[in-house]
Amino acid sequence: MSSDAMAIRTAEAAGGHWLETLHEWVTTVDHKRLGILYILYALLFLVIGGLEAIVIRIQLLRPHSDFVSPQVFNRMFTMHGTTMIFFVVMPVMFGFANYLVPLMIGARDMAFPRLNAFSFWLTAFGGFLLYFSFLGGSGLYGAGNAPDVGWWAYAPLTSRAFSPGHSADYWTIAVLVSGFGSIGTATNIIATILSLRCPGMTFGRMPLMAWMTLVMSGLVLISISPLTAAQIMLLVDRYLGGHFFDTQAGGSAALWMHFFWIFGHPEVYILVIPAFAFASEIIPVFSRKPIFGYPVMVAATVCIGFISMSVWAHHMFTIGMNSASNTFFVLTTMAIAVPTGIKIFNWLGTMWGGKLQFKTPMLFCIAFLFQFLLAGLTGIMLGAAPFNWQLSGSYFVVAHFHYVIVGAILFCVFGAMYYWYPKITGRMLSETLGKLHFWLFVVGFHLTFDLMHIPGILGMPRRIYTYEPGRGWETWNLLCTIGAFVQSVATLIFVANLIYSYFKGPKAGNDPWDAWTLEWSVSSPPPAYNFATIPTVASRRPLWDRKHPEDPDSRYE
Partner 1 sequence: MGVNWRGMASNEIGQRVTGILLLIFGLLLAATLCTAATPGDNPIPNIFDPQSTPADSLFHLSMFVLVICGLIFVVVATLLVYAVVKFRARADDSAHEPPQVYGSTQIELAWTVIPILIVVVLVLATTRVIHVVQDAKKPPNVVEVIAIGHQFWWEFRYPALGVVTANELHIPVSDPANPSPTFLKLLSADTDHSFWVPQLAGKTDLIPNRVNEMWMDPHRTGIFLGQCAQYCGTQHAKMLLQVSVDSPEDFRNWVNAQKLPAKQDDSVSAGRKVFETTACINCHAVAGTAATGRFGPDLTHMMSRRTIAAGVAENTPENLGMWIQDPDMIKPGSLMPAMKLSDADLDALVRYLETLR
Of the candidates 458, 489, 492, 538, which one interacts with partner 1 according to CB under 8 A? 458
Beta carbon of residue 473, minimum distance to partner 1 (angstroms, whole number): 9
CA–CA distance, 31 with 87 (Å, rounded to integer): 19
Comparing CA positions, the residue from 489, 501, 346 lying closest to residue 417 is: 501
Alpha helix stretches (DSSP H) within 406-463: 411-425, 431-451, 453-457
Q: Which of residues 376-435 bind partner 1 (CB under 8 A)?
A: 377-378, 380-381, 384-394, 432, 435
- Of the pair 333, 501, the CB lying nearest partner 1 is at 333
φ and ψ at residue 344, rounded to 5 degrees: -60, -40
- Of the pair 132, 154, the CB lying nearest partner 1 is at 154
Please identify, among the stretches 3-11, 198-206, 283-291, 525-533, the one whose residues bind partner 1 according to the rule CB under 8 A.
Answer: 283-291
Task: Assign 293 to helix, strand or coil.
Answer: coil
Comparing CA positions, the residue from 513, 510, 517 lying closest to residue 546 is: 517
Q: Are 483 and 446 in contact (CB under 8 A)?
A: yes
Beta carbon of residue 46, minimum distance to partner 1 (angstroms, whole number): 23
- Binding to partner 1 by residue 457, rule CB under 8 A? yes
- Of the pair 108, 243, the CB lying nearest partner 1 is at 243
Beta carbon of residue 442, minimum distance to partner 1 (angstroms, whole number): 6
The kind and range of the H/E element at 468 are none
- Binding to partner 1 by residue 190, rule CB under 8 A? no
Beta carbon of residue 292, minimum distance to partner 1 (angstroms, whole number): 5
Of the candidates 52, 237, 281, 553, which one interacts with partner 1 according to CB under 8 A? 553
- Of the pair 199, 472, the CB lying nearest partner 1 is at 472
- Of the pair 221, 377, the CB lying nearest partner 1 is at 377
Of the candidates 351, 375, 409, 413, which one interacts with partner 1 according to CB under 8 A? 351
In sequence order, which residues have a C-beta less than 8 Å from that of residue 547 and are 6 or more positions away? Answer: 514, 516
Q: Are 186 and 275 in contact (CB under 8 A)?
A: no
Of the candidates 194, 352, 496, 509, which one interacts with partner 1 according to CB under 8 A? 352
Of the candidates 194, 348, 496, 499, which one interacts with partner 1 according to CB under 8 A? 348
Please identify, among the stretches 114-122, 171-179, 262-270, 326-334, the one whose residues bind partner 1 according to the rule CB under 8 A.
Answer: 326-334
Number of neighbours of residue 435 by Cβ within 10 angstroms: 14
Please identify, among the stretches 21-29, 195-203, 332-340, 518-526, the one whose residues bind partner 1 according to the rule CB under 8 A.
Answer: 332-340
Q: Are 314 and 329 in contact (CB under 8 A)?
A: yes
DSSP secondary structure code for residue 150 in this structure: T
Comparing CA positions, the residue from 319, 316, 320 lying closest to residue 329 is: 316
- Binding to partner 1 by residue 243, rule CB under 8 A? no
CA distances from 489 to 55, 485, 499 (A): 15, 6, 16
Number of neighbours of residue 226 by Cβ within 10 angstroms: 18
- Binding to partner 1 by residue 288, rule CB under 8 A? yes
Please identify, among the stretches 30-38, 133-141, 468-476, 495-503, the one whose residues bind partner 1 according to the rule CB under 8 A.
Answer: 468-476
- Of the pair 296, 309, the CB lying nearest partner 1 is at 296
Please identify, among the stretches 91-99, 206-214, 328-336, 502-510, the one whose residues bind partner 1 according to the rule CB under 8 A.
Answer: 328-336
The CB-side HSE value for 264 (13 A sphere, CA atoms) comes to: 19
CA pseudo-torsion sign 109, 512, 271, 174: negative
Of the candidates 43, 146, 454, 537, which one interacts with partner 1 according to CB under 8 A? 454
Residues 48-77: x/- map of binding to partner 1 (CB under 8 A)?
---------------------xxx--x---
CA distances from 98 to 43, 108, 189, 211 (A): 16, 12, 8, 14
Q: Are 543 and 511 in contact (CB under 8 A)?
A: yes
Q: Which of residues 99-138 bind partner 1 (CB under 8 A)?
A: none
